Structure 1
Amino acid sequence: MKLILSLALLISFNLVKSQEHISSFNAITLTYKFHPKFFLYGETQLRGIEEYSYPDYYEIKGGLGYNLTKNHKPFIGIGRYVTYRDQRLNREELRIWLQDVIDFRKGIVKFENRFRAEKSYFYDPKKDAKSERMRYRYRLNVTVPLNSKKVEPGTVFANAFDEMFVVSPNKPTFARNRVYGGMGYQIDKYFGILCGYLWQREFEAKGNRNLHFVYFALNINIDDSGSEKKTYHFPGLD
């Protein structure tokens, strides 16, 4: 826990020193496994973009996943996403997505490949205008338990990923890149926490933009599947 807090303080200090804006990224997730094959997932987020203490973005989303095999998990989801600017409603979004997660292990290291296709429906209240977008995402996520061979109660782990975003019909097509690094702790069979730093690069026709997020998350796992082998789901920053 002290290591996680030290990491967050170090990141904050370096960003202030370099005069970059610090953004906040906070999340609560819930994974409910009600069957050996099926699980429900829900998440809420609150972000402060370029102003840490003032939240100007939130999202609520959820969906249904299926454990096709031990290492293959298709998922369908839906969510509502709302952005504010200058303390006024700027944009509303309804998003539907399909994703496929394929993971494998090399020793104690877990590699997760996530492919996602999203369809978004936007509404701009200022212009009273509607628009649509298709977006495709790929994320390579790596997790390493530090004091055990797998993530279980009492485990401290390191987590890092790189994610790419491609959009249509917007320009430029390659729209975003995310790089994340952080630490997590599985407290018990229900609760886990994550903390880390996310660098996000936005590629726009009018000019590129860098965002620096300090990330905190509480993950809740409930397993009522009756399976003897418990797994602990920590979806990470999304």
Structure 2
Amino acid sequence: MKLFLGLSLFLSITFFKAQEHISSFNAVTLTYKFHPKFFLYAEGQLRGNEEYSYPDYYEAKGGLGYYLTKNHKPFVGIGRYVNYKNHSLSREELRVWLQDVIDVKKGIVKFENRFRAEKSWFYEPKTDKSSQRMRYRYRLNISVPLNAKEVKKGTVFANAYDEIFLVSPMKPTFARNRVYGGFGYQIDDYFGIATGYLWQREFEAAGNKNLHFVYLALNINIDGTNHPVKTYDYPGAD
């Protein structure tokens, strides 16, 4: 635990000094396995894009997943996403998505391949404008426990990922790239925490933009199946 907190503090201070502007990315996730093959997932996010301490974006989402195999998990989800500009609501979004997650393990290293297709409906109250979007995402997330052979109570782990975003009908098609690196700590059978640095590159016709986030998350895993062997998902900023 001391190692995790020390690394987290060092990471945060380093990037606060290195970047002109730091944004906040805070999340709480809940995974509830209610059947050997099915699980529910819910997540809430609060971000400060323009100011670290002032939230100007939030999202609430959830869905149903299915264990096709131990390492193959299709999922369907729905969520609400809200943006604020100058302390007033600027855009609302309703999003539904289908995703497929395929895990590959090599020793203690886990490679998570996530494919997602999203359909979004937007509304901008200031201009009374509505629009739609299709977006396609792929993420490769690499995770490894640092003080054990697998994640369990007391395990410190590291994970890093790269994710690309493709959109339609907007331009440019290659709309976003995310790169994340961080650490996590599994406190007990239910609670885990994670922190790291997330770099987000926005590709826009009017000009590209970089965002630098400090990521903080509380992850809750509940296994209601009474299975003797518990499994833990490595978190990653979504």
State the TM-score, normalized to the length of structure 2.
Answer: 0.96
Correspondence for 2:76: 76
Counterpart mapping for 1:191-206 below 5 A: 191-206=191-206
Counterpart mapping for 1:57-96 below 5 A: 57-96=57-96
Counterpart mapping for 1:1-238 below 5 A: 1-238=1-238
1:16 positional shift: 4.1
DSSP-derived class of the 2:188 partner: coil
- Spell out structure 1 runs of 4+ moving beyond 6 A: none
Give the distance between the partners of 1:73 and 1:167, measured in 2 at CA. 24
Letter paired with 2:67: N
Give the distance between the partners of 2:86 and 2:18, measured in 1 at CA. 25
1:8 positional shift: 4.0
Give the distance between the partners of 1:57 and 1:46, measured in 2 at CA. 6
Give the distance between the partners of 1:4 and 1:116, measured in 2 at CA. 31
Contact 2:199–2:210 at 8 Å: present in 1 too?
Answer: yes
1:232 positional shift: 1.2
Give the distance between the partners of 2:18 and 2:86, measured in 1 at CA. 25
1:15 positional shift: 3.9
1:228 positional shift: 2.1
More deviation in 23-32 or 224-233?
224-233
- Percent identical: 76
RMSD: 1.3
Structure 2: unaligned runs, 5 residues or longer: none
Residues 41-86 of structure 1, C-alpha deviations (whole Å, 9 max, x = no match): 0000000003110010000000000000011000000000000010
1:229 positional shift: 1.8
Give the distance between the partners of 1:138 and 1:99, measured in 2 at CA. 10
State the TM-score, normalized to the length of structure 1.
Answer: 0.96
Letter paired with 2:87: Q
1:199 positional shift: 0.5
More deviation in 218-227 or 156-165?
218-227
Give the distance between the partners of 2:20 and 2:14, measured in 1 at CA. 9
Letter paired with 2:113: N
DSSP-derived class of the 1:204 partner: coil
Give the distance between the partners of 1:227 and 1:18, measured in 2 at CA. 46
Contact 2:33–2:224 at 8 Å: present in 1 too?
Answer: yes
Letter paired with 1:116: R
1:19 positional shift: 4.7
Give the distance between the partners of 1:5 and 1:57, measured in 2 at CA. 27
Residues 153-212 of structure 1, C-alpha deviations (whole Å, 9 max, x = no match): 111000110000000001000000000000000000000000000000000011110000
Distance 1:85-1:3 versus aligned 2 partners, 3 A rule: farther
More deviation in 46-55 or 3-12?
3-12
Structure 1: unaligned runs, 5 residues or longer: none
1:91 positional shift: 0.3
Contact 2:96–2:120 at 8 Å: present in 1 too?
Answer: yes
> Paired residues, what number?
238
Give the distance between the partners of 1:45 and 1:128, measured in 2 at CA. 26
Give the distance between the partners of 1:120 and 1:148, measured in 2 at CA. 41
Distance 1:18-1:232 versus aligned 2 partners, 3 A rule: closer
Contact 1:36–1:226 at 8 Å: present in 2 too?
Answer: no
